[in-house]
Structure 1
Amino acid sequence: MSSKFTGTPCPLYRTIDDEWLLTGTKDLYNTTLIDVDLTAVNVDWQTVAVDGTTMFIGCRMDLEHEIELRRRGVSFLRAPEGLPYRPTRRHLYTWQELMEGFSPLLDRSTDLKIYQHYENSKSCPSVTEALWQRLHDFSIDEGLRRLLDFSADGLPRRRVVGIMGGHGTARTSPDYETTLRTAKLLTERGYFIASGGGPGIMEAANLGAYLADRTEEDLRWVLETLAVAPTYRDAGFNEAALKILSHFETGAESLAIPTWFYGHEPSNLFASYIAKYFSNSIREDTLLAVSLYGIVYAPGSAGTTQEIFMDAAQNHYVTFGYVSPMVFLGTQRYTVETQLYTTIQQLAEGRDYADALYLTDEPADVLRFIEAHPPTKI
């Protein structure tokens, strides 16, 4: 079975220059145009093939042309003014966009405004609100498709390794540092780190990627800087992160896939690309689906345990056509405090992914195992 990110891209035209007008395409059957400004463009719509399968979402054009197209069966959809988010997006988020409006004294960030809006309708959204949220999450899917650039064989051209673990892990914890060093090593070898985008282990993953090729002295300074605000509930949490970004103005790229479902947890500031979803279930499945080069499980609680079994199910049934490594980073957590590693070994017995399981406490071992066990097509 193919991933939702493989195969023929969805027939969407988002921009004028490189995806539609300059191509000379006249056939818009079974096509949705999203967020295209056509007010300043001279189009002879009589020469364009449209019908009831053509839809314009969030597009702008002269009223007379819209009426003409409506008479030919075209549907139009526009989001209301005043939404704190754009239902149709051309790109993934950046931390700068989400943090716009933030200050240590008063948080008026875009991220918080969207969360507050979502909280008011999370339990029972109106039909239109549900529609805008679904369109938004679809746009995020499309942004990921372009970013990761899946080939015809179903693998992303960026070698994505996911790192999962507890959101409450303190910046002063040994698990945080181990995760940071693991992500750093993997990034230095050309892997593209993806995390759940929140604090704790997720922040350590994106930060470790950002610090690729930095010195040991740099790492010690970073950890000391973060120690002033160990958890996201501590005052100065974002300020410590911003201090690091100010000190190291550039860093290696990585991906975060968070959700407003857990919006009280701030998105970490170290990912280059943020694919933030309203739907947590879509977000969870997506994070696992794109991490085809392996997933590393640092210590975590119920959420991490859920991800372990979801990942095991994908490997067990070869959901996306590949078996991928599952690396458990924490012997104490996964064999003493819990028996999760043993349980997954038992489930995998006689299956293709039995050889893709690994348990260690060392970042260098993680790298060696993942390099020795690329995704296996079944």
Structure 2
Amino acid sequence: MQPNPEHASAPQLPGTDREIETLAEFDEVTARGGVAGYRVQAVDLTQRTSALLAADVAGAVFLGCPMGQEAADRVRAAGALVFPPVPGLPFNPYRGLLYAPDDLFAGLADGGYEATPDAHAYAWFQRTKSDGDVFASMLRAIHDDSISDALDEILVGARVVGVMGGHAMARGTDEYAGAARLGRELARAGFTVATGGGPGAMEAANLGAYAAPFDDEMLDEALELLAKAPSFTPSITEWAKAAFAVRERWPSGGASVGIPTWFYGHEPPNAFASHLAKYFANATREDGLLARSNAGVVFLPGAAGTVQEIFDNATPNYYESRGEPTPMVLVGRAHWTEHLPAWPLLKALAKERPMEARIALVDTVEEAPGALGALRSA
């Protein structure tokens, strides 16, 4: 089954002109004369000593770039700042690009989830999050700021719709299939789907965006395959392997964004978001996900985390003075009016505010895209 060109994913645009994040970019810039004033992030320059000895590097900043001692001495003497790599870390705090699923799940096939960089980073976080070591907290902050920078670069010009929902939504359920179809419809409409990057509803929406370039039958078949490992418990390894089996059968799926966190590291990231902005600080992650959902947010049924996200999103909408609050669609009338009655409070907040015309409650996930479109045109 081949991708359908009618359903191409939203374009991904390049980063800023003064940042170098790959070896190819470094070679291109140095061929034009030098890297003066550039920020070079996490590029292995051990094989570029001759270029560094000859290039104009005045005012350049090298962030976590391995390089030979001769090259390092020369660029410092020529007016560059060099922040060397930090040995012994399971992550690169100066990372210039977002993670891909293959980055976080490297080693899964042979060693299981426990052998992956994602698991190692979570273990490091567990050891250091409360030890009071200012160096560890500084490394986490640098990493998260680098991730935010990379995320902003990926989303330049994108129309982002956030899809929020519970992590407990199991593969093989009607709810999971509905969330996947929602992600597919949004991606086919030209939106960039952004989720919390974890399992459940988040994975389903990212899966839908991944399926967007293919014929409709692909998603149906993928859902059947994934249902064999319905949850990340008791085995993250089997859960993740099922996702990678789908990716292997249907490579080159559509793009989307996942924004998970090691704060909830017992919940693994999902393998269907092409770009994973994984943070140590959950507050930075939550605020960043909602703030970047510039085309609206769909809230699927969830528990405490989803309720928090509803009101985290409602607060700036409440105080929006330009009359342009972000559209919010809550899916599941009974869930949001009876089980967890967030909707009555949201309506009370919205009364006589600009956000009143930008919120909607619908019964089913199939109604969400139409409701979102109506709110956007209101």
Tell me if TM exceeds 0.5: yes
Which residue number in structure 2 is paired with residue 343 of structure 1?
345
| 2:50 match: secondary structure | coil
Which residue number in structure 2 is paired with residue 109 of structure 1?
116
Count of residue pairs brought into register by the alignment: 356
Find out whether 1:21 has 2:30 as its counterpart. yes
Which residue number in structure 1 is paired with residue 49 of structure 2?
39
Q: How does 1:78-227 map to 2 (within 5 A)?
A: 78-103=84-109, 106-107=112-113, 108-149=115-156, 157-212=157-212, 214-215=214-215, 217-227=217-227
Tell me by how many angstroms 1:363 deviates: 3.5
Tell me by how many angstroms 1:215 deviates: 4.8
In structure 2, what residue type is equivalent to 1:21?
T
Range with bigger deviation, 310-319 or 139-148: 310-319
C-alpha distance in structure 1 between counterparts of 2:53 and 2:153, whole Å: 27
Find out whether 1:326 has 2:336 as its counterpart. no
Distance 1:25 1:347, change over 3 A: farther
C-alpha distance in structure 1 between counterparts of 2:86 and 2:343, whole Å: 49
In structure 2, what residue type is equivalent to 1:144?
L
C-alpha distance in structure 1 between counterparts of 2:323 and 2:357, whole Å: 16
C-alpha distance in structure 1 between counterparts of 2:18 and 2:286, whole Å: 25
Which residue number in structure 1 is paired with residue 232 of structure 2?
232
Task: Give the TM-score normalised by the residue count of structure 1.
Answer: 0.84
| 1:96 match: secondary structure | helix
Find out whether 1:241 has 2:231 as its counterpart. no
C-alpha distance in structure 2 between counterparts of 1:203 and 1:352, whole Å: 32
Tell me by how many angstroms 1:121 deviates: 0.5
> Contact between 1:185 and 1:364, CA under 8 Å: does it hold in 2?
no
Which residue number in structure 1 is paired with residue 10 of structure 2?
none
Distance 1:223 1:65, change over 3 A: closer
> Contact between 2:198 and 2:269, CA under 8 Å: does it hold in 1?
yes
Aligned match for 1:57, one of 51, 63, 80: 63
> Contact between 1:104 and 1:239, CA under 8 Å: does it hold in 2?
no
> Contact between 1:58 and 1:77, CA under 8 Å: does it hold in 2?
yes
Give CA deviations for 1:44-69 in whole Å, capped at 9, x if unaligned: 67x7654xxx6443245565665566
C-alpha distance in structure 2 between counterparts of 1:271 and 1:128, whole Å: 31
Tell me by how many angstroms 1:73 deviates: 7.3
Tell me by how many angstroms 1:231 deviates: 1.4
C-alpha distance in structure 1 between counterparts of 2:377 and 2:289, whole Å: 16
Higher helix residue share = 2
Which residue number in structure 1 is paired with residue 8 of structure 2?
none
Which residue number in structure 2 is paired with residue 153 of structure 1?
none
C-alpha distance in structure 2 between counterparts of 1:214 and 1:77, whole Å: 44
Tell me by how many angstroms 1:224 deviates: 2.5
C-alpha distance in structure 2 between counterparts of 1:178 and 1:226, whole Å: 14
Range with bigger deviation, 192-201 or 17-26: 17-26
Distance 1:314 1:262, change over 3 A: same
Distance 1:23 1:358, change over 3 A: farther
Tell me by how many angstroms 1:43 deviates: 5.2
Give CA deviations for 1:50-95 in whole Å, capped at 9, x if unaligned: 4xxx644324556566556656876432232221111112211111
| 2:178 match: secondary structure | helix
In structure 2, what residue type is equivalent to 1:343?
L
Which residue number in structure 1 is paired with residue 257 of structure 2?
255
Unaligned runs of 5+ in 2: 1-14
C-alpha distance in structure 2 between counterparts of 1:321 and 1:126, whole Å: 45
Percent identity over paired residues: 36
C-alpha distance in structure 1 between counterparts of 2:111 and 2:31, whole Å: 48
Distance 1:59 1:246, change over 3 A: closer
Give CA deviations for 1:182-231 in whole Å, capped at 9, x if unaligned: 11111111111111011011111101111225455444333332222221
Which residue number in structure 1 is paired with residue 12 of structure 2?
none
C-alpha distance in structure 2 between counterparts of 1:90 and 1:184, whole Å: 29
C-alpha distance in structure 1 between counterparts of 2:207 and 2:52, whole Å: 47
Q: CA-atom RMSD, angstroms?
A: 2.9
Unaligned runs of 5+ in 1: 1-7, 150-156
Range with bigger deviation, 298-307 or 10-19: 10-19
